[in-house]
Structure 1
Amino acid sequence: MTTTAVLIVGAGPTGLTLACTLARAGVPVRIVDKSPEFHDGSRGKGLNQRSREVLADLGMGEDFTAAGNPRLTLRKYRGGAVIADHTPQEDAVPTPDVPYATGLWIPQWRTEEILRAKLASYGIRVELGTEVAEFTQDESGVTAALADGRRVRAAYLVGCDGARGMVRKALGLAFDGETAPELALVGDVEVEGGLDRGYWHQWIDEDGAVLLCPLPGTERWQLQSSPERDAEGRYEEPSLEVFQRQLDRHARIPGLRLSNPGWLSTYRVNVRMAERFRVGRVFLAGDAAHVHSIAGGLGMNTGIQDGYNLGWKLALVAGGLAGEGLLETYEEERLPVAAWTLKTTNERLRAVMEGMRKAGVGTEAGFSRDLTTLGVGYGWSSLAWGGRAAGERAPDAPCRDAATGEPVRLFEVFAGPRFTLLGFGPRSAQALARVSEACGDLVRTCLIDGGGEGLVDPDGHAWRAYGMAGREEPAADGPAADGEGGAGGLVLVRPDNHIAWTAAVDRGAEVVDRLERLGR
């Protein structure tokens, strides 16, 4: 029998994000997948703004930016003729508090490839062809029996093995919801005939549709199509021939030929959620916990954010910096988010289906600001300890190092598996020192506009983003005030960049008390 702190079952984006979060914190982790080889299908093809922030925090921001496409124009056809073009978030630009103005178009296999490379940098690799046949748990851990007869003992096990995975089924948890009767086809192909890769081509007619989306960094396209039935009315299996017939029927472009098929599949819209996300020392994340409509592209993103939320909590508990009670907040926080995701994607799917009845309307009918998930917070959580914006996402802000003048963003300060206590103004320095001494490795401190140390906020972006009062605004032709005389305040930011607590500068003892309770 081998041992580890956390055993992750399933090596998709959810499991890989969780593994990277744990590995960064130095937590022993194994990640296994029953597939004999890595998937090469596009499947989920977009990262939203919040997932980009998560992956940047884990040290992969530049890798994903280089691999993806931030903007793609949707070209809509009717009867084979171009009707309209639409570029979602065409005018969106980064702001001081939101560094990523758009999401990224990127095939899921490439997302997984980047995550695996980061995980390998910690000396951890996915164990392919490794199936968990069964597991048992007791008060101190989980024992997993592998299909080849080996056994693994772990403090915790996390099922990231998808909607059909064994972990949820072995726990006996209900997966209530519904499955749509309609079938759709999807696959990855190459296209001969000079189709412009600057567009997501959407041929939408009253009797069916074909969509071809270019996959960045490849010669391939993801093709989505309405199904084809045989003479008896049965659905045809996905094949290059079926795809070609559907393309010919709707695109009506001579010489446009599909070739070199890769991943080919079918899907039905499933809307289901597990009744619980935790049973003892076993957790569920991603599709193993919830599935929903593809409208809005939240599937992969919600899984990535599940893994990130669970990861920092497991890391603190496994590292002895927090007690078992912290793990209760995973289900407390993510189950309501999953319920919101099911509701939101249902609404977006209805919007798409209604919109596409009109010529010139395509999948953009399902887009909304909610889909960035920048607004997803945990205001109801027991980790929302009070004050302004407790539970909400912590905003970014450009600052400068007080000693060197070098630019530093708050997101750079937050990176890593610890809490961060921001102190605004010189009067917060005493509280920061007290917390740093009492809490050690659990928290880092950062003084903003404290006079000579920490960070300087020359344009006041951080003060405004966190609702801090008392700072003098910089003169139009002069330097910013350094916070002298300002009221300032304290903001405690969780390891996943959500606000835990906001308070006045004289309440450092309460920060210590709150953090010490995590260890109980």
Structure 2
Amino acid sequence: QIFRKFDGLAGDIERAQPPVDLWRKFIYCTSLSGSILGSVDHMKQEDFDKVVSPISVAHFSQYKLVDLLLKKLDGVGFQTCFPDELGGSSAQDLLLENKILMGHECSSIELTDDGILVGASFNNGGRMQERKLHCGLLLGADGARSKVRELAGISMKGERDLQQLVSVHFVSRDLGKYLSSERPGMLFFIFNPDAIGVLVAHDLEHGEFVLQVPFYPPQQMFEDFSAKVCEQIIVKLVGWEPADIQVLDIKPWAMHAEVAEKYVGCDNRVILVGDAAHRFPPAGGFGMNTGVQDAHNLAWKLCLLLNGIADPSIIQTYESERKPVATFNTELSLENFKAAMSIPATLGLDPTIANSE
């Protein structure tokens, strides 16, 4: 609904997403080619008839969304810049208005009389360097492990380390083709004696997947999950060996259910947005949706503030309006996660027993 306002972005997503019939189901199975334990069609007819909203639900990979957003921003006068295009380690002589600096990470913040001096680190030919950028406001939209949040001294409150997982991004057109014809779906919950995991089918047509595998330190560590080990796990979960598995990326992550104690800090100069302000279990897809809504709420308020129409106190309404939504969505996604865990528990795979081990 929010993207609908942004130069036809909602329509672009709708046209670029996979056909709905390929992703509307959640499937529980012993392997992707084994017995089906059950399936859930999570779409209703009213979703297609646009009864509750003028726009339909969509299933779209984050990196594809980022590419689309960058193209839209380019169309309204923003310029994407990489470190080697900017040169030098100082930003004093650089005109950075309307620039999107890729490959930069906030490494330090220092309050000044009229704003914040931000240290932005970047890799310059294998050597880390830092630019100093001066700004009136700093928006921390830097994800669940937000450095801005840490530097601003804002803590998180809620439940930590609900589960440790390895996320494996891989492609296999063979597997995509098989699932398209035999059992199309978006989420596959797979339980067998050799391996368990949740497979997210991002695009069956192009064979693009993300596999989530739980692991249990200290018996298992992230370092144990090499590309070869991940390929072996994929084969066990598929039930046969696709010839064209290509592992693109392997990352660890911890599932939390937390909300920042405050959204605005450092004399109202630092503002947290999205995953930097809240971390949910992924059950229900609330994380990105809540983050997009945060950004929308904040954007028009900043516009009024910077144009001298509103008082600085308008920024406080961002926290008072968005934080309760994050708290509600944290509880809802936590409920969803616990409900989802009841299924492996029924099959004799109780995570609380694994944790106690």
Structure 1 residue corresponding to 2:282, chosen from 294, 301, 304: 294
Report if the CA contact (8 A) 2:235-2:241 is conserved: no
Q: Larger deviation: 289-298 or 135-144?
A: 135-144
Q: Larger deviation: 321-330 or 205-214?
A: 205-214
Which residues of structure 2 form unaligned runs of 5+?
Answer: 81-99, 122-128, 348-357
- Distance in structure 1 (CA, Å) of the matches to 2:199 and 2:131: 44
- Distance in structure 2 (CA, Å) of the matches to 1:54 and 1:298: 15
Aligned to 2:13: 64
Aligned to 1:247: 234
Q: 1:81 to 1:97 in 2, by over 3 A?
A: closer
Structure 1 residue corresponding to 2:209, chosen from 214, 221, 234: 221
For the residue of structure 1 that corresponds to 2:332, the secondary structure is helix
Q: Which has the larger radius of gyration?
A: 1
Aligned to 1:183: 164
Task: Kindly report which structure 2 residues correspond to 1:398-413, keeping only aligned pairs within 5 A, or say none.
Answer: none
- Distance in structure 2 (CA, Å) of the matches to 1:255 and 1:355: 27
Report if the CA contact (8 A) 2:157-2:258 is conserved: yes
Report if the CA contact (8 A) 1:134-1:145 is conserved: yes
Q: 1:146 to 1:85 in 2, by over 3 A?
A: closer
Structure 2 residue corresponding to 1:131, chosen from 90, 94, 105: 105
Report if the CA contact (8 A) 1:134-1:146 is conserved: yes
Amino acid at match of 2:155: A
Structure 1 residue 110 displacement after superposition: 0.5
| 1:311 lines up with 2:265 in the alignment | no
Aligned to 1:164: 145
- Distance in structure 2 (CA, Å) of the matches to 1:182 and 1:95: 36
- Distance in structure 2 (CA, Å) of the matches to 1:202 and 1:348: 16
Report if the CA contact (8 A) 1:159-1:282 is conserved: yes
Aligned to 1:354: 342
Identity %: 23
For the residue of structure 1 that corresponds to 2:212, the secondary structure is strand
Q: TM (normalized to structure 2)?
A: 0.76
Report if the CA contact (8 A) 1:200-1:211 is conserved: no
Amino acid at match of 1:131: E
Structure 2 residue corresponding to 1:117, chosen from 42, 62, 71: 71
Q: Larger deviation: 343-352 or 73-82?
A: 73-82
Report if the CA contact (8 A) 1:202-1:209 is conserved: no
Structure 1 residue 167 displacement after superposition: 1.3
| 1:77 lines up with 2:29 in the alignment | yes
- Distance in structure 1 (CA, Å) of the matches to 2:229 and 2:250: 11
Report if the CA contact (8 A) 1:94-1:100 is conserved: no
Report if the CA contact (8 A) 1:143-1:154 is conserved: yes
Report if the CA contact (8 A) 2:227-2:247 is conserved: yes
Aligned to 1:196: 179
Report if the CA contact (8 A) 2:163-2:214 is conserved: no
Structure 1 residue 281 displacement after superposition: 1.7
Q: 1:214 to 1:314 in 2, by over 3 A?
A: same
Structure 1 residue 104 displacement after superposition: 1.4
Q: 1:204 to 1:133 in 2, by over 3 A?
A: closer
- Distance in structure 1 (CA, Å) of the matches to 2:309 and 2:291: 25
For the residue of structure 1 that corresponds to 2:45, the secondary structure is coil
- Distance in structure 2 (CA, Å) of the matches to 1:61 and 1:248: 36
Query: What is the RMSD computed on CA atoms of the aligned residues?
Result: 2.6
Deviations along 1:395-424, one digit per CA (max 9) or x if unpaired, are xxxxxxxxxxxxxxxxxxxxxxxxxxxxxx
Deviations along 1:286-307, one digit per CA (max 9) or x if unpaired, are 1111112111111111111111
Structure 1 residue corresponding to 2:54, chosen from 99, 105, 112: 99
Report if the CA contact (8 A) 1:238-1:265 is conserved: no
Deviations along 1:365-398, one digit per CA (max 9) or x if unpaired, are xxxxxxxxxxxxxxxxxxxxxxxxxxxxxxxxxx
Q: 1:179 to 1:91 in 2, by over 3 A?
A: same
Q: 1:139 to 1:344 in 2, by over 3 A?
A: farther
For the residue of structure 2 that corresponds to 1:123, the secondary structure is coil
- Distance in structure 1 (CA, Å) of the matches to 2:318 and 2:72: 24
Amino acid at match of 1:246: I
Structure with the higher fraction of residues in strand conformation: 2
- Distance in structure 2 (CA, Å) of the matches to 1:96 and 1:139: 51
Report if the CA contact (8 A) 2:257-2:281 is conserved: yes
Aligned to 1:155: 136
Which residues of structure 1 form unaligned runs of 5+?
Answer: 1-52, 360-520
Deviations along 1:222-272, one digit per CA (max 9) or x if unpaired, are 22223388xx933353333323333343442x3335622112112221122
Report if the CA contact (8 A) 2:143-2:274 is conserved: yes
Task: Kindly report which structure 2 residues correspond to 1:417-436, keeping only aligned pairs within 5 A, or say none.
Answer: none
For the residue of structure 2 that corresponds to 1:183, the secondary structure is strand
- Distance in structure 1 (CA, Å) of the matches to 2:68 and 2:238: 35
Amino acid at match of 1:105: H
Q: 1:306 to 1:85 in 2, by over 3 A?
A: same
Q: TM (normalized to structure 1)?
A: 0.54
- Distance in structure 2 (CA, Å) of the matches to 1:66 and 1:351: 33
- Distance in structure 2 (CA, Å) of the matches to 1:178 and 1:321: 40
Aligned residues: 303
Aligned to 1:282: 270
- Distance in structure 1 (CA, Å) of the matches to 2:104 and 2:323: 29
Amino acid at match of 2:6: L
Report if the CA contact (8 A) 2:166-2:252 is conserved: yes
